[in-house]
Structure 1
Amino acid sequence: MTAAREERLPLDAASVDNARTTLLQLLARAGVYSGDAEELIALVEAGALALAHEELAGTGRQAPPGSGEPYATGWRDGSRAVAEGLAGLADRALRAAVAAGPAEEPDARQPVGRMEVERAKVAVVPLYLSFSEESDLDPEVTEQVLAASLATMDARRRAAYPGRLTEFAGDHRSHLERLYATYGPGSAIAIHGRYTLVHSPTSLAVLERLAARPEELREEWDAAELPPAWLDGLTRAWDATA
């Protein structure tokens, strides 16, 4: 073995596969279903490619300072080619991770999976707790509400939903603060009744869907046989604190 090979730093395919297999085995011992674990790992892999593409497509296209124009032109062309290649890899990896179907059907919706609900729950709870110190997290209701919200999206958008929720919470922070202060935990509004959903972290997900896909959400809400008063109450509270 040469010294150069011994000192090689980038991970090779065998080492990456070893880490992946080790993680799957550890998750299996913890009781995580193999299909769920595979999906999560695949999303992390696809996300790493997407983030690498984002970085390279930005500052990565700038040639080193002092470069001549011919060199800079070649640098930009090469960087663009690599970035486009990464974008293609990231897109294929995401499609494989979420089983989104063929490219000609990007908006095809599939049944909401358990892991999609879990990812949404992990995203929405800390966001909600940034507005309220308490929450009413009924497991069954939470899953039903999140599943109805996620059903308005295709699998690719569900994979990116935590980011969308974070963006929504940031864009409407002042409005959300007023909403939860007036109708949420600790307010004079009782938890039972039309404003029940305001006391649950799922209210953030529902509000985002009401803003983005109101008709689709109401269809999924009715299909799930969730109380119409919850949706109407949340809408009324949102409008009243605008």
Structure 2
Amino acid sequence: MNTAEIGRHPLDSASVLNAKKTLFELLSRSGVFRDEAEELIALVEAGAIAEAHSEAGKAAAPPGENGEPYATGWHDGARAVGDALVRIAERALERAIGPAMSDAVGDDAAPGHHLVGRMDVELAKVAVTPLYLSFSDASSLDPEVSDEVLTAVLGTMSVVGRVGYAGRLKEFTETHRERLAQLYAQYGPRSRIAVHGRYSLLHSPTSIAVLERLSTAPSALRTEWERAELPPAWLDGLTTAWGTRAAPG
């Protein structure tokens, strides 16, 4: 469908609602609970609106040469549309993560213990796996243990921080790519280091998430690690391999 066709046949609210209901049905058949599906859809909606806001900002220059009054009106209109899109995106994000987003004090703040949900963990898994596979082989760590590790990692963040964690992980990986490549070559699955031991996490995609937190919020990470009763040797081994020291909680 080209631009002209979209203009003549815009998506109406009934069609959008039907698509959402269909998606809820499909996710339900896959074992995704209704509240989790609603959270995912709201996050996608918020992201789509934020992307629309970004694209609108790129088209800020008025078309043609129509004089200063026209240009002023154009910019005022673009600003009004942009502000409206931001408010809509904020409402969509609030639907996804709840009102706790308004009192979060920072991405790295302890969430005052907003519990880490299953969907938080699943989103983190999807984020870390391709990043890890750019350095190493598939995980050899138990899936249940991976969930426990990611729950501890996500517990160091505010609710808002969890929403944007995929982007932060990507930025961290790109910034430290050479160092990470050396680390996985020395301690990962293709190295001589056994999977059972203090470097076990380097055989798992969760290591990307743990390393990011070691670099950003080491004290909070150790606190959550102890709360989850995960093996201290795993965190100590990863801390040593990364060349940093996590402060005691």
Structure 2 counterpart of 1:116, from 117, 120, 138: 120
| 1:61 and 2:60 matched | yes
The whole-number CA distance in structure 1 between the counterparts of 2:44 and 2:97 is 12
Give the AA of the match of 2:14: A
CA drift of 1:202 comes to: 0.4
CA drift of 1:65 comes to: 4.1
**Residues 186-225 of structure 1: matches in 2 within 5 Å?**
186-225=190-229
Aligned to 2:108: none
CA drift of 1:16 comes to: 0.8
CA drift of 1:134 comes to: 3.4
Matched residue SS, 2:100:
coil
Structure 1 counterpart of 2:131, from 124, 127, 131: 127
Structure 2 counterpart of 1:233, from 237, 246, 249: 237
**Residues 1-242 of structure 1: matches in 2 within 5 Å?**
8-57=8-57, 59-101=58-100, 103=102, 105-107=103-105, 108-109=111-112, 110-239=114-243
Going from structure 1 to structure 2, the CA distance change for 1:178 and 1:7 (only over 3 Å counts) comes to closer
Matched residue SS, 2:137:
coil
TM-score, structure 1 normalization? 0.90
Conserved 8 A contact 2:201-2:234: yes
The whole-number CA distance in structure 2 between the counterparts of 1:45 and 1:7 is 21
Going from structure 1 to structure 2, the CA distance change for 1:95 and 1:228 (only over 3 Å counts) comes to same
The whole-number CA distance in structure 2 between the counterparts of 1:31 and 1:184 is 33
Going from structure 1 to structure 2, the CA distance change for 1:176 and 1:39 (only over 3 Å counts) comes to same
Give structure 2 stretches of 5+ with no counterpart. Answer: 1-5, 106-110, 245-249
Calculate percent identity across the aligned residue pairs.
58
CA drift of 1:189 comes to: 1.5
Matched residue SS, 1:61:
coil
The whole-number CA distance in structure 1 between the counterparts of 2:124 and 2:82 is 30
Going from structure 1 to structure 2, the CA distance change for 1:172 and 1:102 (only over 3 Å counts) comes to closer
The whole-number CA distance in structure 2 between the counterparts of 1:72 and 1:102 is 37
Instruction: Please say which of residues 179-188 and 132-141 is displaced more in the overlay.
Output: 132-141
- Cα distance per residue 1:114-142 (max 9 Å; x no partner): 01101101111111001002321311110
Conserved 8 A contact 1:100-1:154: no
Instruction: Please say which of residues 128-137 and 197-206 is displaced more in the overlay.
Output: 128-137
The whole-number CA distance in structure 1 between the counterparts of 2:99 and 2:151 is 17
TM-score, structure 2 normalization? 0.88
Aligned to 1:3: none
The whole-number CA distance in structure 1 between the counterparts of 2:148 and 2:43 is 23
- Cα distance per residue 1:40-78 (max 9 Å; x no partner): 111111111111112222x12121243422222211111
The whole-number CA distance in structure 1 between the counterparts of 2:243 and 2:211 is 11
CA drift of 1:171 comes to: 1.1
The whole-number CA distance in structure 1 between the counterparts of 2:27 and 2:153 is 28
The whole-number CA distance in structure 1 between the counterparts of 2:41 and 2:115 is 20
Large movers: runs of 4+ above 6 Å: none
CA drift of 1:181 comes to: 0.5
The whole-number CA distance in structure 2 between the counterparts of 1:102 and 1:238 is 32
Matched residue SS, 1:101:
helix
The whole-number CA distance in structure 1 between the counterparts of 2:59 and 2:35 is 36
The whole-number CA distance in structure 2 between the counterparts of 1:187 and 1:150 is 28
